[in-house]
Structure 1
Amino acid sequence: MNAHIEIPPETPKMIHFPIEGMTCASCVGRVEKALSAVTGVVSASVNLATERAEVSVSNPSVWPELIRAVEATGYSVPGKTIELAVEGMTCASCVGRVERALQSVHGVTSATVNLASEQATVEGTAEVSALLAALAKTGYTARDVARDIAEDEAKTARKDAEQALLKRDLVLAAAFALPVFVLEMGSHIIPGMHSLIGSTIGHEASWLLQFALTSFVLAVPGLRFYTKGMPALLRGAPDMNSLVAVGTLAAYLFSVVATFVPGVLPEGTVNVYYEAAAVIVTLILLGRYLEARAKGRTSEAIKRLVGLQAKTARVRRDGSIVEIPVAEVTPGDIVEARPGDRLPVDGEVVEGESYVDESMITGEPVPVAKTAGSEVVGGTVNQHGALAFRATAVGGDTMLSQIIRMVEAAQGAKLPIQALVDRVTMWFVPAVMTLAALTFGVWLIWGPDPALTFGLVNAVAVLIIACPCAMGLATPTSIMVGTGRGAEMGVLFRKGEALQLLKETRVVALDKTGTLTEGKPALTDFVLADGFDRVEVLAHMAAVEARSEHPIARAIVEAAEAERLERLPVENFASVTGYGVEATVGGSRIHIGADRFMRKLGLDTAFFYRLAERLGDEGKTPLYTAIDGKLATIIAVADPIKASTPEAIGALHDLGLKVAMITGDNARTAKAIARRLGIDEVVSEVLPDGKVHAVKRLKAMGRLAYVGDGINDAPALAEADVGLAIGTGTDVAIEAADVVLMSGSLKGIPNAIALSHSTIRNIRQNLFWAFAYNTALIPVAAGVLYPVFGVLLSPVFAAGAMALSSVFVLGNALRLKRFIAPMMGETSPSHPPSASVAAPAE
């Protein structure tokens, strides 16, 4: 019998890379289409605002094909510099092997290795993971040393150079276009100007001067439109540059014919439109320049985060303190921080005491006390004391680097609302060119004399006014600014689409321990059954619970340690999921857990029923201990509710949301907590695997956001429409979440939801403006108002309106930088009792 073995599909890998040369939404559509056509590509998403592509591939080896696909559409993938710290090299032959291994990777243009510094510098477009894999095959280990400050600085420098070039071209275009505008339009606007020109330089000389000046404008500052737009048109994939190129060339060439061979034109049509071509180029350059400045401001959040990375570190080496580049710090190094220093890497304090300003991570303004054993984060600022700490994470592994990657990933995401824009813009430019040709034909056939002139002017106006820049920028710029503002508040969107889903949330479900509460319960009550000794029972319980990682277990162990009880040896320890723990201590079999565990063991808890009822009403968690099959004690544990919890739940209610709590506590205890906090729905006595079913059930009430912090919350975080992880929780929970609340405070929940509302509202405003602008003005440019009102739209005004549309969208998105969260700063002093409210632990 032949067995069928099913091989699981390979997990898709995400590749991110920059793309240069895109100018509008149609560019985005073409690049996405080209990337999606590459064999092995699962999905491709391109962001105009960040100028980056995110491609999911089944095989990373398709990387060269991706670059070729981008270049085939007329755009480019810029190279980058990667610094690798290589371990294991001992001689010059090692250097040669490492260089050859790196140069064999697709996308590497050059690789140089320094044996003394044990570093490799790689130029090109290769992925870091591919470089590390190539070195691993040759027997060397390496790591990416700096999330690459050099790469970030190079990107910033490239943007600055692009902006400076735009500014130069704008000044040149304006200087040469102004005389053309005055000579031509002045004759129509200023009385006597036409006669003055005729009696001085003459109209023929005026046209020749306009020809020379306009030729310079088109050939020098305006050359970018033709070198990019015409090849795109010839490939059958016209973009915004194509619209500008065709429109301005049509006006310019018609004017050249009218200037040098007027006899070939029909009578009454000999006019020049040099000013239209020159001024259109100038106005579009103005729009591009303003757009570049505004786009630079949308990414300020990332720039600020990158700016928080220290450049050097003071490290203990060979008995002395040396100052070295932060890229050279290695895990295990002892780093010293003086008062006022920005910490260079993540670490654990080994000496000293101080307060550290962690507002860049958490959004909380109050400095945090640090002593020996405390964790510190790179990028935070040491306040008054001196600290020495052991480096635990460096380079791209630091929390700051991870935050930057999270923010960049969210900024590059596409929301579901973007799907409509993508569908429209794919066909928009070809449709506009068809409409422009149709406009020209209609005016030529049915228009009044001079029909050729009317047809040309209106066709050019349609081409110029219909640029889809505003459409392409409407969504990504708002996402960039919104997610950047969130990072400043300590709210990290790991997935950009969470912005839209949070806005649609109707129910917020909260885990209890570590989320609503501090997660540090304490033993409050200890009542014995007849015939048992307190010290003996507590010692046995502590011995068993020392093997458990549950917060309640820690409370019992700490109570025993406080009484300095002897730690007894434990055998046969086992955790009974959802019920409790069991083990053998000194020959006795111990069971510790909830009342359901005792019932499962066949023990009657009626003796403690009234006491358990009272403890539950007080918001405490009652637990039982059985020794050798006999009920020995009932204990109670309470976990203080976080100071921010009552205010945060109130803020969620103010946003019109229902609040639910999911807990493993018994129903009586859970309801007591819910009453104190004003929680609407309670799901109690839930086993860990039952949280997913609880989330599914609550989703029937509307789109649901789940907030948790533990490993057992990961499945529920993934099941929810939006998962929010408390940043002080476990890595597993954070990885499963869509949003991370870095401060550990529930204030981040209403802040994140309010930011989501503002960002989606901002996107809708942008999309309305972008679509309404094109819908309204394309018919006007085509001349539909002329038969009734005698109104035509000059190509010059069309260019101005087009430039302003993009600037308006960007300016509107930048308003999100001023977003004020509903719960900024510390918990309001109007809620002082909240910190002392006792809550049970799960």
Structure 2
Amino acid sequence: MKAEHCTLCELETPDPPITDPDIDGVFCCSGCLHVYKLLQNMEGEQAEQLRKQTIQKRHNEQKETTLPEDYEEAFFKVNGMHCSTCESFVEALADREDSIYKSEASYASEMIKVYYDPKSITPDTLPDKLSKLGYKVRPIESSAKEEQLNEVARIIIGGFFGIIGLLLYVLFLYPSYLGGGGIVPLTENEKLFFVSNIFVMTTFVLLYTGFPILRGAWVSLSVLKPNMDLLITIAAVSAYLYSVGAMLIGSSEVYFDVTMAIVLVVSIGNYYEKKIKSGKHNLLAKLTEKRIQYARLLQNGKTKETAIENLNPGDQVLVKAGERIPIDGTVIDGRGVVNEALMTGESIPVSKDVGDSVLSGTILTQNALTIEIGDSVESTIDNLMQMMWNIQSARPGQQRLADRIATWFVPSVILLGIVTFVYHMMSGAGATESMLSSLAVLIVSCPCALGLATPLAIASGIRSGLEHEIIFKTAAVFEEQMDTATAAFDKTGTLTTGTMQLLDNGNNEQALRYAAQLEQYASHPIAEPIAAYATNKNTVDDFTSYSTGISGQINGMQIFVGQPEWINNHLQITEKQWEKINSGRNEGNVPVAVGWDNRVRSILTVGDQIRDEAPKIVKKLQSEGKKVAIITGDSKQAGDAIRRKLNPDFLFTETRPDSKSNIVEELRKFGRIAMIGDGSNDAPALAQADLGIAFGNLTAIAADSAHVIIPREQLGLIPAAFNAIKLTKKRIRQNLGWAFLYNIITIPLAIAGAINPLFAAVAMATSSLLVVGNSSRDMQLISE
């Protein structure tokens, strides 16, 4: 049979291809189908341009590096990466290993994906082979406590020596720079004695506390990408070398204080940023759900707890009401109701009978099921995690603004140093004096303020977010160049409450009381909001539960409650009641019929209600210039109801997890995109988006895949998160402005040879205090 090609991207389609009765054409995936729908509503020229971009991207994906058939892949966390330069270097380190075919690192997610030869190496041995030069590679689920302790030790020990060294400066050296004798008058030899002690302390601070900075500078040189670490290192090492030279020729005018101040202040600033970021972990621990690690294996009529990885094709697994289904499979015994919202986005629970398939990660809410594993052991929830890790590890982080500045500032400073040397030589100064003036330019070129500008502003943004329970997992979100153009919402659990509510009590109070009395004995999610109206005054006899309804006797009458089509087999439903049933379904809700004595007495309506603030938030985002897209697994009818109530710019219905990420990728053509969702089914899309926001009653995978986490079910915090990012970007630029003001003042003075160590120290402290003060200001995230 001749292969068909996708109408959108022209790649081969699966057999059978993805189709839609309302759309002409065949498609390779749901994402292409939805994107094709989107293009139909656009102007011809723009639609054709986006279509060509899509074709090129999909074909580029097909041309990726060919790997041997027996390759395997593994994912790891990497501590120590803090810029895009580190990505290139860590990948280079991994690629030097003969047993590793390829690697992809991302500093934004602090992850690396490794393609390796399983015959030569095992995943357990990879972290040790890849942990080099201060980059610590560790398993995904391990903690980074050891590295955190090392950072604290560097700060404490370096700070101890730095305080003593700076105290000696204040007591003995600074007064001599002003022409005074100090608290205790000293001879030149005595000054040199203190200078030599300061030299030892500075050496320790530079090499031990400053090791991460020096490493970052060396890495940037090795991959030819100058960064802020290199700029800081040039200033710190220049001051150190200048001071060593001055000490050796008997001068007490040394810049060891500049070296210590730069290293300590920048290290403390970086640590403060990490400390603020780590404050999210305690909060996250209370929010996320553990992965399913064990299943109840059924053998010879008995069950035993077995690890998921030990299950085999054909094994039978028992799942009880209230439990998460641990593995994909087919129901071979039992009837139940499964809540698939967190995996598929479908808000209405689904009845499962013998022969029906079930997905891992979904929740069995009623009865018990025996599930048989198919020809291969598949876990949808693990597949989602794999997809999410693939996306995260493959997406490089954007270079930090300060590092982008450093790429041109470093060469400029070095050039200025050379020009200064030549200028003084041509002016008749000696080689030593000219060299000292040149070194002075390098020393004052990078104040502490420049090293503090970004980490303190980011720490302020993260802290302000935490005060509102908005958790920014990565600093990279504050340094993207463009503002968000499109905000894409998952519907269920985000724009809606995610829980079933009784939206219409019907027209018969007695019917509602009888239904509530019966529903107390049911475990179906639709039963809960109805059961809340029970008065417990009536006794239920002969209660029976079916896959689509329940029945029982109250006061001698047989009461039926359930799906209208099921009840229609027992009781009569009027034409007017059918109209209400169809109307409720058109709104995406669930009609529940209640009746006795041969006829239905009332139609109740249960549904997942749109949050009260949702229309206001959608309008607010649109008023800020953002387009709003809604992505849902619900039917087209339910989607139309959402469109009428919220009026989004884009609406996608009947979506699956894989198509959500494809939709996000295509929406990126309109600009930077944010994805907001709560369930495991949203994880790939959250990871794929430029900004992933996990919202509300979220799952562990959603939290892991997102850049921002909002655990409170308050939609108003979503604009607040955007506001925090915007204000933090502005503050970073303000801080860099203050830092460069220092350069504008001091570099010309250094070129002229008019800088002394005391002036450099005072100017540096002043600029740093301005940055600290600006970063410490409160942020107003929520507008009235």
TM-score range, shorter chain: 0.5 to 0.7
Deviation at 1:822, TM superposition (A): 0.1
Asked if 1 retains the 8 angstrom alpha-carbon contact of 2:675 and 2:693, the reply is: yes
* CA 1:802–1:65: 2 relative to 1, 3 Å: farther
Q: Which amino acid aligns with 2:713?
A: G
* Distance in 2 separating the partners of 1:711 and 1:226: 45
Decide which of 418, 421, 424 is 1:443's aligned counterpart: 424
Q: Does 1:734 align with 2:734?
A: no
Decide which of 682, 707, 710 is 2:679's aligned counterpart: 710
* CA 1:553–1:718: 2 relative to 1, 3 Å: farther
Q: Does 1:162 align with 2:158?
A: yes
SS at match of 2:605: strand
**What is the correspondence of 1:535-546 to structure 2 with a 5 Å cutoff?**
none
Deviation at 1:744, TM superposition (A): 2.4
Q: What are the ranges of 5 or more consecutive residues in structure 1 without an aligned counterpart?
A: 71-75, 78-124, 131-143, 188-200, 260-273, 311-409, 529-533, 574-580, 599-603, 784-790, 829-842
Asked if 2 retains the 8 angstrom alpha-carbon contact of 1:507 and 1:704, the reply is: yes
Q: Which amino acid aligns with 1:439?
A: T
Counterpart for residue 822 of structure 1 = 782
Asked if 1 retains the 8 angstrom alpha-carbon contact of 2:632 and 2:653, the reply is: yes
**What is the correspondence of 1:462-611 to structure 2 with a 5 Å cutoff?**
462-467=441-446, 471-500=450-479, 504-524=483-503, 552=526, 564=540, 567-568=543-544, 570=546, 611=580
Q: How many equivalent residue pairs?
A: 568
Deviation at 1:757, TM superposition (A): 1.1
* Distance in 2 separating the partners of 1:216 and 1:734: 50
* CA 1:547–1:462: 2 relative to 1, 3 Å: same
Counterpart for residue 335 of structure 2 = none
Decide which of 256, 268, 281 is 1:281's aligned counterpart: 256
* Distance in 2 separating the partners of 1:664 and 1:126: 38
Deviation at 1:764, TM superposition (A): 2.9
Q: Which amino acid aligns with 1:515?
A: T
* Distance in 1 separating the partners of 2:661 and 2:84: 42
Counterpart for residue 328 of structure 2 = none
SS at match of 2:782: coil
* Distance in 1 separating the partners of 2:440 and 2:634: 70
Counterpart for residue 97 of structure 1 = none
SS at match of 2:442: helix
* Distance in 2 separating the partners of 1:453 and 1:567: 100
* CA 1:665–1:554: 2 relative to 1, 3 Å: farther
Q: Which amino acid aligns with 1:746?
A: L
Decide which of 722, 729, 733 is 2:691's aligned counterpart: 722
Asked if 2 retains the 8 angstrom alpha-carbon contact of 1:240 and 1:467, the reply is: yes
Asked if 1 retains the 8 angstrom alpha-carbon contact of 2:486 and 2:673, the reply is: yes
Deviation per residue, 1:714-747 (Å, 9 max, x gap): 4544554433223413334434433221122223
Counterpart for residue 75 of structure 2 = 13
Q: Which amino acid aligns with 2:165?
A: D
Q: Does 1:621 align with 2:581?
A: no
Q: Does 1:301 align with 2:280?
A: no
Q: Structure 1 length as normaliser, TM-score? A: 0.52
Q: Structure 2 length as normaliser, TM-score? A: 0.55
SS at match of 2:158: helix
Q: Does 1:637 align with 2:606?
A: yes
Q: Which amino acid aligns with 1:683?
A: L
Counterpart for residue 61 of structure 1 = 125
Decide which of 755, 759, 763 is 2:724's aligned counterpart: 755
* Distance in 1 separating the partners of 2:94 and 2:742: 31
Deviation per residue, 1:612-636 (Å, 9 max, x gap): 676589x673648899xxx999653
Q: Which amino acid aligns with 1:821?
A: L
* Distance in 1 separating the partners of 2:198 and 2:89: 30
Deviation at 1:281, TM superposition (A): 1.9
Asked if 2 retains the 8 angstrom alpha-carbon contact of 1:491 and 1:740, the reply is: yes
Asked if 2 retains the 8 angstrom alpha-carbon contact of 1:180 and 1:214, the reply is: no
* Distance in 2 separating the partners of 1:641 and 1:129: 36
* Distance in 2 separating the partners of 1:566 and 1:716: 47
* CA 1:150–1:453: 2 relative to 1, 3 Å: closer
Q: Which amino acid aligns with 1:511?
A: D
* Distance in 2 separating the partners of 1:460 and 1:60: 48
* CA 1:450–1:288: 2 relative to 1, 3 Å: same
* Distance in 2 separating the partners of 1:702 and 1:807: 37
Asked if 2 retains the 8 angstrom alpha-carbon contact of 1:652 and 1:658, the reply is: yes
Q: Which amino acid aligns with 2:589?
A: T
Deviation per residue, 1:51-93 (Å, 9 max, x gap): x9865555553444555x41xxxxx68xxxxxxxxxxxxxxxx
Counterpart for residue 576 of structure 1 = none
Deviation at 1:750, TM superposition (A): 1.7
Q: Which amino acid aligns with 1:482?
A: G
**What is the correspondence of 1:311-322 to structure 2 with a 5 Å cutoff?**
none
Counterpart for residue 401 of structure 1 = none
Counterpart for residue 764 of structure 1 = 733
Counterpart for residue 39 of structure 2 = none
**What is the correspondence of 1:30-429 to structure 2 with a 5 Å cutoff?**
35=93, 38-39=96-97, 40=100, 42-43=103-104, 57-58=114-115, 59=123, 61-67=125-131, 69-70=132-133, 156=152, 159-183=155-179, 211=192, 214-221=195-202, 224-225=205-206, 240=232, 243-247=235-239, 249-250=241-242, 253=245, 274=251, 276-277=253-254, 280-291=255-266, 294=269, 297-299=272-274, 301=276, 416-418=398-400, 421-422=402-403, 425=406
* Distance in 2 separating the partners of 1:42 and 1:247: 38
Asked if 1 retains the 8 angstrom alpha-carbon contact of 2:588 and 2:639, the reply is: no
SS at match of 2:498: coil
* Distance in 1 separating the partners of 2:189 and 2:235: 26
Deviation per residue, 1:31-68 (Å, 9 max, x gap): 76985675358356779xxxx9865555553444555x
Fraction of identical pairs, as percent:
26
Asked if 1 retains the 8 angstrom alpha-carbon contact of 2:684 and 2:705, the reply is: yes
Asked if 2 retains the 8 angstrom alpha-carbon contact of 1:287 and 1:806, the reply is: no
Asked if 1 retains the 8 angstrom alpha-carbon contact of 2:592 and 2:606, the reply is: no
* Distance in 2 separating the partners of 1:650 and 1:520: 24
* Distance in 2 separating the partners of 1:605 and 1:500: 61
* Distance in 1 separating the partners of 2:563 and 2:754: 86
* CA 1:303–1:164: 2 relative to 1, 3 Å: farther
* CA 1:417–1:809: 2 relative to 1, 3 Å: farther
Q: Which amino acid aligns with 2:398?
A: P
Deviation at 1:459, TM superposition (A): 0.9
Asked if 1 retains the 8 angstrom alpha-carbon contact of 2:621 and 2:628, the reply is: yes
Deviation at 1:755, TM superposition (A): 1.1
Asked if 2 retains the 8 angstrom alpha-carbon contact of 1:222 and 1:281, the reply is: no
SS at match of 1:459: helix
Counterpart for residue 343 of structure 1 = none
Asked if 1 retains the 8 angstrom alpha-carbon contact of 2:503 and 2:607, the reply is: yes
Asked if 1 retains the 8 angstrom alpha-carbon contact of 2:270 and 2:455, the reply is: no
SS at match of 1:285: helix
* Distance in 1 separating the partners of 2:534 and 2:160: 69
Counterpart for residue 114 of structure 1 = none
When Rg is computed on C-alpha atoms for both structures, the one with the higher figure is 1
* CA 1:766–1:38: 2 relative to 1, 3 Å: farther
* CA 1:429–1:30: 2 relative to 1, 3 Å: farther
* Distance in 1 separating the partners of 2:456 and 2:86: 14
